[in-house]
Structure 1
Amino acid sequence: MEEQKEMKLKVDKTVWKEMFRYLSIFKKDFLILCGFMVGLAGMDIVFPLLTRYAIDNFVANGDYNGLTLVGVLYGILALGLGLIVFLFIRHAGKIEMGIVYKLRKDAFEKLQRLSFSYYDKNAVGWMIARTTSDATKISETVAWGVVDLVWGATMMLGVSVVMLIINWKLALVTLITVPVLAVVSVFFEKKMLVSYRNVRKINSKITGLFNDGIVGAKTTKTLVREELNIEEFQDVTKDMKKTSIRAATLSAGYLPMTLFISAVGTVLTLLLGSNFLMDGALTYGTLVLFITYARQFFDPILEIARIYTEMIGAQAAAERVMGLLHEKEEIVDTEVEEKEDYGKIHGDVTFENVSFFYKEGEYILKNFNLQVKAGETIALVGETGSGKSTIVNLACRFYEPSEGKILIDGEDYKKRPQSWLHQNIGYVLQAPHLFSGTIKENIRYGKLAATDEDIIEAAKVVHAHDFIMKLEKGYDTEVGEGGGMLSTGEKQLISFARAIIGKPRLFFLDEATSSIDTESEAKIQKAIEEVLENRTSFIVAHRLSTIKNADRILVIDQGEILEEGNHEELLKKRGHYYELYTNQFVEEAGREVLKGKVV
């Protein structure tokens, strides 16, 4: 698994600059929200001034007649405060949902563009965590954190200005603890970031284990691994518990520390203010005002401290999401004009001195050469790991050669858009995958513009129509997640229909009949031959009986062609292919005999 490179152990400006780029999408809503927060801070500042006015002008003089007007003003301000709170919560929620939507949309689009190599190196759980919990963490922090920062900054600035105007000496005493808070913040910063990074990483492991447990439920039960899986999951969750408690402890230590320091500031204000009051340099109303402001001044600091800890936690998530969004795409269209009409693919495929490795230095193919004429059927046989599927994946441009070139109709396929090639490819895998939805929707997935008649025709060609019509809802039958409601053979027939409906010029079958029973195989073998007619095709074969009619059969060993010819020619050579074929024929004949005895 390829993990994210760690960034510096501090609030990284680069990461947050990227995050706030998403916030800029909602610039209008954000500016309105900032206006609400400035208004809210302004009202919070006005309330103590009203109190001061009431105490000094009415309460201290024993004149309560003017308090009615003050009460009315309080009521008006309270109503305005309630309205602003409602509006800012609505706008902040809108921004939060908008950011998480955009993050997930961008992440999903990125996953569609990334090469197969990325999926080879990263577990499904990691990708799911980045697009779900990590994206949620970021959106919450960016939307609500920025709101609180605007309110806090406005509140602190406003309170500071008012206090300095009224009594600058007492104001400086109130503000003297701010540098101490800054030092404490720096101390906690590094430790919290490390802890929250670890929390996010372990969370991804847990997501991955859930995914593996659900997807591999049948394998788990058949191998009786339930207890072992539970133990493994418990180990990871215990680690998560331990790391989360550490992160929470650090946050819990940071917030009380700031609370204590702010309390010291309030006490200092009270002590010095009392002396000023006794000396007649301060009124009762002004003392109450400063004590209220001292508390109000440190409330934003406490809020900023909380936001700070959340930003530390969210930065770990942001690093991971940005790592996905900035992941380099290994296969990209260069010097290509997407809108240019390159015409239809004829079907010639040429490998010119192609070398390829998944891991640098460990070559799967070395100076591999192959020329395939349009309409020719090429079968690839050989031991597991010999390079058969690699040849197919390179021809499909799922991977690109490490060295050498692959030509389609005489042109290096790197000079054409990927879409030009992929729209002309039909691909059927050994393990068919169906998407949640109906049979009709899954077949149409191969050609979105296909009519119902096109879908039925494709199903009939691969002999899937009969079994589909026996189902209660026919083509509208739900296949379940991953096609779980159908048998493996039925799923394979659906995948065949999906592959041919687009009438591709290049066809690839990667051991596509190995999961189908002998009876089903016989039914579709003739259909496959009809489908492949006049189409360039590559067949990776496990059952050699399925490739008798191939134009050329290539015996692959360690990325090299050992033997080449049609079925009859290779049998006459009595070489490697002859041994593979006769051994498999004997094995299959033996199974048929045993089957007959059992019956």
Structure 2
Amino acid sequence: MIRAHHRKVIKEKRPAKENIQTLKRIWAFLAEEKRRVLLVIGLVIVSSVLSLLGPYLVGKAIDTIIAKKTHDFTMFFSVMLLGYLALSFSLFLQNYWMIGIAQRTVSSFRMRLFEHFHQLPLAFFTRQKSGELMSRVTNDIDNMSQTFDSTAIQVISSTLTLVGAIVVMLSLSPILTAVTLLIVPLLFGGMKWITNRTQPRFRAQQQQLGDLNGFVEEIISGQKAVKLFAQEKEMTARFLQKNEQLKQAGFWAQAYSGFIPKLMNVLNNLSFALLVGIGGILAYEGMVSVGTIVIFTEYARQFIRPLNDLANQWNTFLSALAGAERVFAILDEQTEEEEEAQNLPGIRGEVEFQHVSFFYEQGKEVLHDIDFSVKQGETVALVGPTGVGKTTILQLLTRFYDPTNGRILVDGHDIRHIKRESLRRQMAFVLQDVFLFQGTIRENIRYGRLEATDEEVIEAAKQANAHSFIMKLPNGYDTMLQQDGGGISQGQKQLLAIARAMIARPAILILDEATSNVDTVTELAIQDALVRLMNNRTCFVIAHRLNTIQHADRILVLQEGTIVEQGTHDSLLQKKGVYYELYHRQFQEVS
């Protein structure tokens, strides 16, 4: 099965035009470094010329010895010494400067990608594994970093050295130059055969690495569930399968790319043999000097070495190109457009849904003709079976999605014309699943309003009934929490979430069964805190337990994506309709 999958992957072949487009986009990220890049290229030109100078002087020195013109090689020695010292210094400078260019560019690249994540709609993250996204920020960009650090300079240097060697060889002996160039068709034929097989395999390797990272991140995050359901063996088996797929992709990518140095060695030896054999004949006939043959053997090596370097760097280049493609795929994702939207500094909290319909996928309507209005300070509860659209209504209100049809107004403003950030700053959320960041309790509460003072943080905690348990912790408000609040109870997480909402000072409050999965004592503390939080605010409550929303100003009963009933708790019970059935069925289940 793994081999079949492997064969399927390697059939993909990316057109050269698309590779060129990727390179152009990478070059665009180097825009701020263009002056430094040009300076480095200047040093590369200097070092390439100096690298060609040494063999030329050696050949001329040999011809001088044979001709017995002089035994004083001080000039040759001095020029060669100065040339190699200058070569070493220029190589040091270009590598030093290029590393700085690479790290600044990659840092900018990584920041651009991270900022882009925050501009993507929620729907994007629902269809992507977090580990896969992490792999693109780390592994794929690291591959690009390695290319910027070394490959870019090597490619330029090798190309210049190659051109310079050909020019000098042609000036010395066109015949021996033609002999040297005999290997070029063999080289390109072999390289084409190899690269046609390596590029799709490097792309497959990056894809498999991202998939494995996503799986590992998911299993580590869900380790409790894995252990509770005794799925360790199953998860290990799945990991082995994915690990095997990555191994196969990496093996064949490296195996085929490993043919390149072997090919270069064979061609290098072939070129040397041809030059010595044919050059010896030409020297015997007096057509070339021995020094020229020596120069050619060195230049042939100089000629082969750039090709060898280019071939070896090609592997790194292909890997980086595969990583860049995956990064650009994220950057090409459609962001939440905000061009025509306006800021809304403050709102009262009046909300109106005007004949709103919505579907995630064409033809699968989730909400149909939702029409209601909420006055400032009212509390509205949404009830109904799972999947009827309660959460979707609130996701439309927060502009995680926009309605397919109809309008949603806040204080008379169509929210499609309000910037999402401006709208969401007027809201606060207390959800069933509380997410706490790794950091202190103080930082987690302040997340609701980053400019809040320490005194405001403490006051919000007191209003949320969280102050007493916080002060019992070893370091109080400076107690460090692990990711997702490890080390405190679910009820304490809810209290911190309420404190975070308190400090945000929202005009609109959204609650998603904030008292679920807690003990009775903690539930009373949460309900008491929620009463203070909800005071004089427009509130939307998703209720799973109907006894918690009896005092709501209005209850909206949803069924199959539409509102079938609305009213107060008592009026809906008197109707003896859908709400009546839901309430009594739940009451009987509890009894």
Amino acid paired to 1:481 = Q
Given that 1:440 and 1:455 are in contact with CA atoms closer than 8 Å, whether structure 2 keeps it comes out as yes
User: Using the alignment, how far apart are the partners of 1:412 and 1:271 within structure 2?
Assistant: 85
Q: Which moved more, 1:472-481 or 1:142-151?
A: 142-151
Given candidates 213, 236, 244, the residue that maps to 1:230 is 236
TM-score (norm 2): 0.94
**2:407 match: secondary structure:** strand
Map 1:414-493 → 2, pairs under 5 A: 414-493=416-495
Matched, 1:364 2:370: no
Matched, 1:100 2:106: yes
Given that 1:9 and 1:190 are in contact with CA atoms closer than 8 Å, whether structure 2 keeps it comes out as no
Matched, 1:325 2:328: no
Matched, 1:14 2:16: no
- 1:343 deviation in Å? 4.0
User: Using the alignment, how far apart are the partners of 1:190 and 1:414 within structure 2?
Assistant: 48
Q: Which moved more, 1:22-31 or 1:424-433?
A: 22-31
User: Using the alignment, how far apart are the partners of 2:435 and 2:50 within structure 1?
Assistant: 60
1:409 alignment counterpart: 411
Matched, 1:310 2:312: no
Q: Which moved more, 1:461-470 or 1:99-108?
A: 99-108
2:39 alignment counterpart: 32
Given that 2:155 and 2:310 are in contact with CA atoms closer than 8 Å, whether structure 1 keeps it comes out as yes
Amino acid paired to 1:500 = M
Given that 2:140 and 2:327 are in contact with CA atoms closer than 8 Å, whether structure 1 keeps it comes out as yes
Q: Deviations over 1:243-299 (max 9, x none)?
A: 211111211123422443343333322222212211112122111000100011111
1:283 alignment counterpart: 289
User: Using the alignment, how far apart are the partners of 1:95 and 1:264 within structure 2?
Assistant: 39
1:54 alignment counterpart: 61
Given that 2:398 and 2:420 are in contact with CA atoms closer than 8 Å, whether structure 1 keeps it comes out as no
**1:26 match: secondary structure:** helix
Amino acid paired to 2:477 = Y
User: Using the alignment, how far apart are the partners of 2:566 and 2:484 within structure 1?
Assistant: 38
- 1:536 deviation in Å? 1.3
- 1:414 deviation in Å? 1.0
Given candidates 503, 506, 518, the residue that maps to 2:505 is 503
Given that 1:382 and 1:388 are in contact with CA atoms closer than 8 Å, whether structure 2 keeps it comes out as yes
Q: Which moved more, 1:147-156 or 1:575-584?
A: 575-584
- 1:7 deviation in Å? 7.1
Map 1:336-375 → 2, pairs under 5 A: 336=341, 342-375=344-377
Amino acid paired to 1:46 = L
- 1:534 deviation in Å? 1.9
What percent identity do the matched residue pairs reach?
Answer: 35
- 1:586 deviation in Å? 4.4
Amino acid paired to 1:260 = V
Q: Which moved more, 1:26-35 or 1:279-288?
A: 26-35
User: Using the alignment, how far apart are the partners of 2:26 and 2:345 within structure 1?
Assistant: 42
User: Using the alignment, how far apart are the partners of 1:100 and 1:515 within structure 2?
Assistant: 45
> Superposition RMSD on alpha carbons, in Å?
2.0
Amino acid paired to 2:554 = R
1:597 alignment counterpart: none
2:272 alignment counterpart: 266
User: Using the alignment, how far apart are the partners of 1:498 and 1:36 within structure 2?
Assistant: 56
- Go from structure 1 to structure 2 and tell me whether the alpha carbon gap of 1:185 and 1:403 turns closer, same or farther (over 3 Å shift): farther
User: Using the alignment, how far apart are the partners of 1:518 and 1:587 within structure 2?
Assistant: 18
Q: Deviations over 1:66-111 (max 9, x none)?
A: 2344333333333323322322222222122222211211111011
**2:474 match: secondary structure:** coil
Given that 1:129 and 1:204 are in contact with CA atoms closer than 8 Å, whether structure 2 keeps it comes out as yes
User: Using the alignment, how far apart are the partners of 2:13 and 2:499 within structure 1?
Assistant: 48
Q: Which moved more, 1:170-179 or 1:312-321?
A: 170-179
Given that 1:354 and 1:367 are in contact with CA atoms closer than 8 Å, whether structure 2 keeps it comes out as yes
Matched, 1:297 2:306: no
- Go from structure 1 to structure 2 and tell me whether the alpha carbon gap of 1:380 and 1:203 turns closer, same or farther (over 3 Å shift): same
Amino acid paired to 2:27 = F
**2:109 match: secondary structure:** helix
Amino acid paired to 2:508 = L
Can you give the 5+ residue segments of structure 1 that lack an aligned partner in the other structure? 591-599
2:4 alignment counterpart: none
Given that 2:498 and 2:529 are in contact with CA atoms closer than 8 Å, whether structure 1 keeps it comes out as no
Amino acid paired to 2:579 = Y
Map 1:571-586 → 2, pairs under 5 A: 571-586=573-588
Q: Which moved more, 1:168-177 or 1:420-429?
A: 168-177
User: Using the alignment, how far apart are the partners of 2:342 and 2:65 within structure 1?
Assistant: 79
Matched, 1:239 2:245: yes
Q: How many residues align?
A: 580
**1:103 match: secondary structure:** helix
1:532 alignment counterpart: 534
Matched, 1:253 2:259: yes
User: Using the alignment, how far apart are the partners of 1:375 and 1:227 within structure 2?
Assistant: 53
Q: Which moved more, 1:507-516 or 1:200-209?
A: 507-516
Given that 1:55 and 1:284 are in contact with CA atoms closer than 8 Å, whether structure 2 keeps it comes out as yes
Given that 1:19 and 1:142 are in contact with CA atoms closer than 8 Å, whether structure 2 keeps it comes out as no
User: Using the alignment, how far apart are the partners of 2:518 and 2:456 within structure 1?
Assistant: 24
- 1:51 deviation in Å? 0.8
Given that 1:492 and 1:516 are in contact with CA atoms closer than 8 Å, whether structure 2 keeps it comes out as no
Amino acid paired to 2:56 = L
- 1:42 deviation in Å? 1.5
Given that 2:342 and 2:417 are in contact with CA atoms closer than 8 Å, whether structure 1 keeps it comes out as no
Matched, 1:334 2:339: yes
Can you give the 5+ residue segments of structure 2 that lack an aligned partner in the other structure? 1-8
TM-score (norm 1): 0.93
Amino acid paired to 1:521 = E
1:596 alignment counterpart: none
**2:557 match: secondary structure:** strand
User: Using the alignment, how far apart are the partners of 1:60 and 1:208 within structure 2?
Assistant: 71
User: Using the alignment, how far apart are the partners of 1:267 and 1:360 within structure 2?
Assistant: 69
Q: Which moved more, 1:494-503 or 1:27-36?
A: 27-36
